[in-house]
Amino acid sequence: MKQEISKAISSTAYQTYEKLLFKEVSEGDIPHHIAVIMDGNRRFAKELGISSTEGHIKGKDKLEEVLDWCMELDIKILTVYAFSTENGKRSAEEVSALMDLFEENFIKLADDDRVHKYGIKVKVLGQRELIPPNVLDAIEIAEEKTKEYSNHYYNIALAYGSRQEITHAIRQIAQKVKDGEMEVDDICEDTVSTYLYTADFPDPDLVLRTSGEERVSNFLLWQLAYSELYFTDVYWPGFRKIDFLRAIRSYQMRQRRFGT
């Protein structure tokens, strides 16, 4: 009985704190573009004694929540690091399970009520030639059904590596120069940005990473040059709304300091 009362008090205190934090954050400068390195699914699963696949499913469920939080705060662009080129080196069984999960969720996204309610455009960033055909088909369905939207943008980095992205951009620019379509002296920062996967979007205001690792792991290396970075030791499936709000509050506090 005492344990139940303690849990109820703890839950009430959490909800109260969450509401206060949400009010504080919503009255401040909301980042236009948030990028997330979703890390810790496997370690979360290991601590709970469940399979890696179950950990990834819980991570997928968490992403659903984060999309809701972004809509609540009217965050315009959400970019998430879902599967890196390095992730492809994991066991065939784990990669296959992940690809099945991606296929299922892109199909679901295409008919997601939130997507159509809020006008969210879905886009995949990465090396599509590395993505299995069944997943590509599902991606094309989601992108096609949301291509006319422009209220919000949901970018999913899949088979993505930033060094590879930059290398690809350099090759395209070099080919333009070789073909006489561009002069070397015309190449500037804006030129490079134009040939990146994120050419249609402003750079992230805030990049956050879960799991306690404090590195960017080949994610948006060019784009995050002036982004605020935020690291939390919470594993991705255990990421709470107050953790998300704290990240934004940290961003707001840094912005206020720079503005004084």
Task: Tell me if 15 is assigned to some domain.
Answer: no
Q: Tell whether 12 is covered by a domain.
A: no
Residue 185: other Cβ atoms inside 10 A: 6
Does 91 carry a binding-site annotation? no
Task: Say which CATH number the domain at 234 has.
Answer: 3.40.1180.10
Query: Is 56 a known ligand-binding residue?
Result: yes
Find, among 102, 225, 108, the residue nearest to 159 by Cα.
Answer: 102
| Domain containing residue 248 | 29-259
pLDDT per residue rounded down to tens, the chain (260 residues): 556 655 655 678 889 999 999 999 999 999 999 999 999 999 999 999 999 999 999 999 999 999 999 999 999 999 999 999 999 889 999 999 999 999 999 999 999 999 999 999 999 999 999 999 999 999 999 999 999 999 999 999 999 999 999 999 999 999 999 999 999 999 999 999 999 999 999 999 999 999 999 999 999 999 999 999 999 999 999 999 999 999 999 999 986 555 55
Q: Is 157 exposed, middle or buried (0-12, 13-18, 19+ CB in 10 A)?
A: buried
What is the reported pLDDT for 257? 59
Specify if 49 maps to a domain: yes
Residue 23 counted as domain residue: no
39 marked ligand binding residue:
yes
Residue 9 lies in a domain: no
Write out the catalytic residue numbers: 39, 87
Query: So what's the pLDDT on residue 3?
Result: 60
Using alpha carbons, select from 77, 156, 68, 155 the residue that is nearest to residue 117.
68
134 close to 103: Cβ distance less than 8 angstroms: yes
Question: Phi/psi zone of residue 21: left (φ > 0), alpha (ψ -120 to 50 degrees), beta?
Answer: alpha
Quick check: is 82 in a domain? yes
* Cβ atoms of residues 239 and 210 within 8 Å: yes
As a whole number of angstroms, the distance between CA 216 and CA 171 comes to 24
Ramachandran sector of residue 127 (left: φ over 0; alpha: ψ -120 to 50; beta: rest): beta
Ligand-binding annotation for 215, yes or no, is yes
Q: How many structural domains comprise the chain?
A: 1
Residue 4, domain member (yes or no): no
